[in-house]
Amino acid sequence: MTDLLASLRYEDWILHALIWLPLVGMAHVVVSSPERAKNLAFAWSSIVFVLSLGLWWGYEPGGGGFMLESSTPWIESWGVSYALGVDGISVFMVMLTTFTSAIAILGSFEYVKTRRKAFYALMLLLETGVLGVFLATDIFLFYVFFELTLVPMYFIVGIWGGERRIYAAVKFFLYTAVGSLLMLVAILYMYFGGGAGSFGYEAFLNADLSLREQLWLFAAFALAFGIKVPVFPLHTWLPDAHVEAPTPGSVILAAVLLKMGTYGFMRFLLPFFPGAAQHPTVVAVMLVLGVVGIIYAAWVAAVQPDAKKLVAYTSVAHMGFVVIGIFALTLNGLQGGMVVMISHGISTGALFLLLGMMYERRHTRLIEDFGGLGRAAPLFATAFVITALASIGLPGTSGFVGEFLALLGTFETHAVAAIVAATGVVFAAYYMLPMVQRVLFNRLDNPENRKFPDLSRREVVILAPMVALMIGIGVHPTPILERMEPSVQLVLERVEGAGATLGTASAGPSDGGPPGYVGDAGPGAQVPVPATAARED
């Protein structure tokens, strides 16, 4: 396989192809007829998916840094370049994105009946945006893609959504826009004030920042990413967006858009601001928010009458495991967080697809409208049960590996947080099993449900690979873990290594702080210098 890829010069073009092919597909969809749009979109996204599979071999875990790197100057005067690269963290996010994009498009065939060309064009645009986020190694480019994802998602919710779609779309847009604007300010500050001088990832890594600066910048980045994740209490846009979004929108939202937040934590937050990331207060705050998210969201999920809203809240709970795994700052924690991200993408994506299938058949999402589907639709019920079990982390499924490692890693450094978070395992059963029961079990007394058709062949094709992945990753996650490990290790080293030298690095009065910010990095407290003054020389 490696030889084949080498003979195709795979590594030279793959990252560019991943970003541009969906756009080509989008153009193709736009010029085609509405009837052909869905097949074309599925074909293009499938091509992208198949091509991305080569990364399994094309990406070789070495030192953990970026591979397959390429960089072309874009806006030279600002030091902006079109720079792409992939490492052990992003490679799985990329594959998750290409996989779920194709699946979501296939899953929308019955759901989307209006303005099909526009819909599929936006789906492909969204794919480009998300892949760009995961592949960009230039901060400016990253930010462009990060914002780009907002637009198609806004329209997908706002046009093809449910009754309160406008409210949900605006709420989604404003919430995330507020966060990312703050991040833009932080990025610009680092570019100008932090002495990065370029938007390259390395330049930002080496930016000379005092602890005080780090804390503020951390806060801005954390807010932007925290809204995306979403971290409690920034989560209330998510249930609304999920409930109103059409099925494919929900799938992409849960499977990959949320991951942009936790990916941001790992890729930017920890390595850029190691001092802040190790600051006891910051760690405590993030861990508490993660733990509260796990438990609070599970509770709220348990009392939702709307199945889709229930699953939306479970996303908050799952992402809480990622957050504690990341901020425990241990290898097991970060690795666990990564696996939860992948696993949640697959299992929650599948849950949203299943709920979409229910909605297509019955035009309701209320749990109480169902019951006894196990008798009418056994295949559907089987897929539902397996997915639900993967979602609540039964051993042998991907969910367990992730949650286990995240909790284990958290326990190593913050036992109390892990102990409280572990109760989330019970609450997961508390929200998931009643839904499974009220949808699939109990009496089949509603005549509408008696006629509930079982999975079609297309639906089996959608769900089978997802179920296979849930179990496959649960049984043998090691190939994934070992591919991620060097990059995750590198993040950890950057945090610990840079954190250790922070005291000396920021001791000098050379670097500039923003107006009014007083650096107070302990003994090496710095002289407040207006940012403008620093830039003039």
Partner 1 sequence: MTGVTTVESAVTALAGTPPLTAPPLAVQEAASWEPVLPGLIVLLPLLGFAINGFLALRAAAVSSAAVRSGSEWDPFAGAATPATHRLPTLVGPGVMLIAFVLALLNFIGMPDDLQEPVVRSYWSWIATGDLRIEAALQLDQLSAVMMLVVTGVGFLIHVFSVGYMKNDVGYPRYFSYLNLFVFFMLVLVMGSGYATMFVGWEGVGLCSYLLIGYWFSDREKSDAGKKAFIVNRIGDVGFLLAMFLIYQAFGTFDFGEVFAGAEGGLATGGATVTAITLLLMLGAAGKSAQVPLHVWLPDAMAGPTPVSALIHAATMVTAGVYMVARSSVLYALAPVSQAIVAGVGVLTALIAATIAIQQYDIKKVLAYSTVSQLGFMFLAAGIGAFTAAIFHLVTHAFFKALLFLGAGAVIHSMHHAAHHAERHLDEQDMRNMGGLRKYMPLTCALMWIATLAIAGIWPFAGFFSKDEIIWYTAAWAGAESNPFGALYAVYWGVALITALMTAFYMTRLMIMTFHGANRTGAAGAAHLHEAPPVMTLPLIALAALSVFGGWINVPEALQASFAGLFGALPMSEWLHHWLEPVTHAAAEIQVAGFGEAAYSAPLGGGEVTWALVSTVAAALTVAVSARLLGTRKYVAAAADSGPRAGLGRVLHDKWYFDEAYDAVIVRPLLRLSRWCWRFIDDVIIDGFVNTTAQFARLAGWIMSLFQTGQVNMYAFVLTVGVLLVLGTTVFLR
- Nearest approach in angstroms of CB 204 to partner 1 is 27
DSSP codes of every residue in 291-348: HHHHHHHHHHHHT-SBHHHHHHHHHHHHHHHHHHHHHTTSHHHHHHHHHHHHHHHHHH
Residues in binding contact with partner 1, number by CB under 8 A: 79
- Nearest approach in angstroms of CB 257 to partner 1 is 19
Interface with partner 1 includes 395 (CB under 8 A)?
yes
- Nearest approach in angstroms of CB 445 to partner 1 is 9
- Nearest approach in angstroms of CB 372 to partner 1 is 6
Those residues with Cβ within 8 angstroms of residue 436's Cβ, 6 or more apart along the chain or in another chain: 384, 385, 388
Closest to partner 1 by CB, 69 vs 412, is: 412
- Alpha helices, DSSP H only, in 363-477? 373-376, 378-391, 398-413, 415-422, 424-440, 447-450, 457-475
- Nearest approach in angstroms of CB 188 to partner 1 is 23
Interface with partner 1 includes 173 (CB under 8 A)?
no
Q: Which listed residue (174, 461, 518, 527) binds partner 1 by CB under 8 A?
A: 174
Interface with partner 1 includes 150 (CB under 8 A)?
no
Q: CB under 8 A: which stretch of 23-31, 202-210, 263-271, 401-409 binds partner 1? A: 401-409
Number of alpha helices (DSSP H) and beta strands (DSSP E) in the chain = 28, 2
Within 98-127, the residues that bind partner 1 by CB under 8 A are: none
Amino acid at 434: P
Query: What is the rounded CA–CA span in Å between residue 167 and residue 488?
Result: 39
Q: How far is CA 360 from CA 346, 459, 460, in A?
A: 21, 12, 15
Phi/psi at 148 (nearest 5 deg)?
Answer: -60, -35
Within 418-437, the residues that bind partner 1 by CB under 8 A are: 418-419, 422-423, 425-426, 429-430, 433-434, 437
- Nearest approach in angstroms of CB 84 to partner 1 is 25
Q: How far is CA 537 from CA 120, 195, 210, 511, in A?
A: 51, 12, 19, 11
Within 218-247, the residues that bind partner 1 by CB under 8 A are: 233, 236-237, 239
Closest to partner 1 by CB, 124 vs 436, is: 436
Query: What is the rounded CA–CA span in Å between residue 37 and residue 407?
Result: 44
Within 258-287, the residues that bind partner 1 by CB under 8 A are: none
Q: How far is CA 446 from CA 45, 361, 452, in A?
A: 39, 14, 10
- Nearest approach in angstroms of CB 119 to partner 1 is 27
Q: Which listed residue (9, 363, 443, 457) binds partner 1 by CB under 8 A?
A: 443
Within 449-478, the residues that bind partner 1 by CB under 8 A are: 450-454, 467-469, 471-473, 475-478
Interface with partner 1 includes 440 (CB under 8 A)?
yes
Within 350-389, the residues that bind partner 1 by CB under 8 A are: 372, 374-379, 382-383, 385-386, 389
Interface with partner 1 includes 302 (CB under 8 A)?
yes
Q: How far is CA 94 from CA 128, 283, 343, 389, 474, in A?
A: 11, 28, 14, 25, 20
Structure tokens at 6: 């080498």
Within 303-332, the residues that bind partner 1 by CB under 8 A are: 303-304, 331-332
- Nearest approach in angstroms of CB 239 to partner 1 is 8
Question: Facing residues of 82 across strands?
Answer: 72
Where do we find the tokens 């005067």? Answer: 77
